[in-house]
Amino acid sequence: MLTKSERTRQLIIERAAPVFNRKGYAGTSMSDILEATGLAKGGIYGNFESKDDIAAAAFDYSYQMVLTAVRARVMAERTAAGKLQAIFKFYHNYTVNSLFPGGCPVLNTAVETDDQLPFLKRKAAAAMQEMLQSLQYIIQKGIDTGEFDNRLHAEEEAMLIYSIIEGGIMMSKLSDQPGVLNKLLKHLGREVKQRFMV
């Protein structure tokens, strides 16, 4: 059972995470966090030392929310192809119906941080690596079991899939056209059926 302090800390993270994800680090002020949480400054600073600490915890929370949801879809499938298709379905219409307000926390954080906020860049890079490793694992498993063509290079295919999904999210957001991402996801689905399968 959580203590009162732990519950307050969790509330701050849960309420601040969507704000950071929508407005970015630079666009999020302490006033925004106070408004989102309904707490006074003492309530915030009694649990976090700085805006940086809140931003780091908020990123971890939002990323874990997305990761947990994707994994649930993947785990429900038995085949490697089914697992990949489940990922593509998860991201369908993602820019207008994302699990977490503001879209993909990894992409949003990566674009904003670059070389300016190294502590957040490290978190986004680690999250990206985890996503890539998960994709690579699924593809390699498909190769090892004979479901996928053994000429595939799992690491390269994982990078290609992830970059197309994240690039599609970015293009759809910039153009305000969710169909851009959906077309790319459909293409990835065809690739799995036509090129991956033995």
186: in domain: yes
Residue 114 has pLDDT above 80, yes or no: no
Predicted pLDDT of residue 175: 95
Range(s) of the domain holding residue 88: 58-196
Whole-structure pTM value = 0.93
- The per-residue pLDDT for 101 is 82
In a domain, 160, yes or no: yes
Domain presence at residue 112 = yes
Q: How confident is the model at residue 1 (pLDDT cuts 50, 70, 90)?
A: confident
**What would you measure as the largest C-alpha separation in the chain, in angstroms?**
61
The total domain count for the chain is 1
CATH of the domain at 172: 1.10.357.10
Bridge partner residues of 197 (DSSP):
148
Domain membership of residue 75 (yes or no) is: yes
**Average predicted confidence (pLDDT) for the chain:** 95
User: Torsion angle, CA of 180/184/185/189, rounded to 10 degrees?
Assistant: 150
Q: Which two tokens stand for residue 190?
A: 């065809």
130 within a domain of the structure (yes/no): yes
Least confident of 19-33, 101-115, 125-139, 175-189: 101-115
